[in-house]
Amino acid sequence: MAATVVVGAQWGDEGKGRVVDILAERADLVVRFQGGSNAGHTVWVGEEHFALHLIPTGILRGKKCVIGNGVVVDPHALSEEADNLENRGVSVWNNLVISENAHLILPYHRLLDEAHERSLGDGKIGTTLRGIGQAYADKAARVGLRVGDMADEKEFCAKLERLADSKNQILKQVYGGENLPWEKVCEEYLRYAERLRPLITDTSLLINSALDDGKHVLFEGAQGALLDIDFGTYPYCTSSNSTAGGACTGTGVSPKRIDTIVGVMKAYTTRVGEGPFPTELEGSGVEGDIAEAMRKPGREYGSTTGRPRRIGWFDALVVRRAVMLSGIEELAVTHLDVLDQFEKIPVCVGYEYDGERMDIFPASSAKLRKCRPIYEELPGWKQDTSRAKKFAELPANGRRYLDRISELTGVAVKMVLVGPRRDQTVVG
């Protein structure tokens, strides 16, 4: 295992949390490298349900966890999440460290995210309203505040004050909002600083030293390949690199040190927020009914925002693109059990665009919007898969479905999840 990266191969919500939770059993260090509290990694431990947003999933296994420099940290969300976990018996404060170079999400990032989305009307992105894009925008513009800045109270407040004027001008004059009370923000953040200070460190040094010592490091991606800021369905994407390269830039680890890249995909496809989605099952007719039939067993509601997820059939072009972008070497397929109910299962093997067949996912969202899926139909299995532990215990048509996924993506399926519990995992 040494250094393993786990990334999403679709539009997020593939079940990365579950896969990381399983792989974390053998890890020494679990590291988040991008995104922020927009993520929602859901794990069941026995009868208990956990939804992690910012803290790496490895925390549930009692592992040392790292929030890397590529993450944007909302100290309010982090404190709340840590306290909730501690109240439920999970040790966070002793097991977590945070990069001093990670950027902070400040209240104006959330307000600007909301105001900007509102101003876009029907053209909105459908963000999680966590201030993610605004925080990354400040990072790129080199006007962001970093976690390490909280070390020096006086300097932190001075920096915050210097930003006050321009942010308030945008809030007020562009969006007609209220001025933010800066002294209060400063006070609030100093309280968080007090709590977080012992956790703040040079995490790139820590991770590289762990690798030097032969430790197993698991890099936990958030969102998915098609939400990547560079390669996703721009502008309907997030603001960080959710492909495997982000694991290097978001932690300070060389690409040469990465051993394995695991892609996580659902046995079908979902996305939340706006943007093109060729295989989406839409409307209130038969298609809508099929989507609804998957929503309940698949628990297809956003774990951060509670929004019902959009649902569609498996799209081989999406996953093939993710395989290329991240160099995925093995696949974990989640939610196979949700397909137990169907007589026949369509899978998308190409697109029709302007009267021509396409086998490659287009880089342009405008083009993607005009693509119509070309399906082949596979036989369903109409059998309960939720108790399978080995591939041989899956129904023959279930195995055939997985084999077809491997053929279409060029990658072996090494793990299959057939329900939310830890023991509903099929390997070997």
- Please, what is the minimum distance in Å from the beta carbon of residue 396 to ligand IMP? 33
CA angle 278, 402, 406 (to 5 degrees): 75
Q: Which is nearer to ligand IMP, 60 or 227 (CB)?
A: 227
What x-and-dash track marks residues 350-369 binding ligand IMP by CB under 6 A?
A: --------------------
Q: Which is nearer to ligand IMP, 203 or 238 (CB)?
A: 238
User: Whose CA is closest to 360, among 404, 322, 330?
Assistant: 322
- Please, what is the minimum distance in Å from the beta carbon of residue 26 to ligand IMP? 25
Query: Does position 235 bind ligand IMP by CB under 6 A?
Result: no
Select the span of 150-158, 177-185, 230-238, 356-364 touching ligand IMP (CB under 6 A).
Answer: 230-238
Q: Which of 21, 28, 41, 315 is catalytic?
A: 41
Query: Does position 54 bind ligand IMP by CB under 6 A?
Result: no
Query: Does position 74 bind ligand IMP by CB under 6 A?
Result: no
Residue nearest to ligand IMP (CB): 273
- Please, what is the minimum distance in Å from the beta carbon of residue 272 to ligand IMP? 4
Catalytic site includes residue 213: no
Burial class (CB in 10 A: 0-12, 13-18, 19+), 235: middle
Select the span of 234-242, 319-327, 364-372, 378-386 touching ligand IMP (CB under 6 A).
Answer: 234-242
Number of residues that bind ligand IMP (CB under 6 A): 21
- Please, what is the minimum distance in Å from the beta carbon of residue 3 to ligand IMP? 23
Whether residue 317 contacts residue 361, with contact meaning beta carbons closer than 8 Å, is answered with yes
Q: Which two tokens stand for residue 216?
A: 């197993």
Q: Which is nearer to ligand IMP, 223 or 425 (CB)?
A: 223
Select the span of 61-69, 206-214, 237-245, 417-425 touching ligand IMP (CB under 6 A).
Answer: 237-245
What's the gap between Cα 120 and its chain centre? 24
Pairing of strands 356-358, 344-353: antiparallel
Amino acid at 2: A
Query: Does position 380 bind ligand IMP by CB under 6 A?
Result: no
Q: Which of 99, 238, 334, 385 binds ligand IMP (CB under 6 A)?
A: 238
Bridge partners (DSSP) of residue 7 are 263
Contacts (Cβ under 8 Å, ≥6 apart) of 56? 20, 30, 31, 32, 63, 65, 66, 67, 220
Q: Which two tokens stand for residue 397?
A: 């048509």
- Please, what is the minimum distance in Å from the beta carbon of residue 361 to ligand IMP? 18
d(CA 395, CA 42): 27
User: Which 1-30 residues touch ligand IMP, going by CB under 6 A?
Assistant: 12-13
Query: Does position 251 bind ligand IMP by CB under 6 A?
Result: no
- Please, what is the minimum distance in Å from the beta carbon of residue 119 to ligand IMP? 15
Query: Does position 53 bind ligand IMP by CB under 6 A?
Result: no
Select the span of 35-43, 55-63, 181-189, 392-400 touching ligand IMP (CB under 6 A).
Answer: 35-43
Query: Does position 265 bind ligand IMP by CB under 6 A?
Result: no
Q: Which of 6, 23, 39, 218 binds ligand IMP (CB under 6 A)?
A: 39
What x-and-dash track marks residues 112-151 binding ligand IMP by CB under 6 A?
A: -------------xxxx-x-xx------------------
Whether residue 33 contacts residue 51, with contact meaning beta carbons closer than 8 Å, is answered with no
- Please, what is the minimum distance in Å from the beta carbon of residue 270 to ligand IMP? 8
- Please, what is the minimum distance in Å from the beta carbon of residue 57 to ligand IMP? 13
Catalytic site includes residue 21: no
Query: Does position 37 bind ligand IMP by CB under 6 A?
Result: no
Question: What is the contact surface with ligand IMP in residues (CB under 6 A)?
Answer: 12-13, 38-40, 125-128, 130, 132-133, 222-223, 227, 236-239, 272-273
Hey, which residues are catalytic here?
A: 13, 41
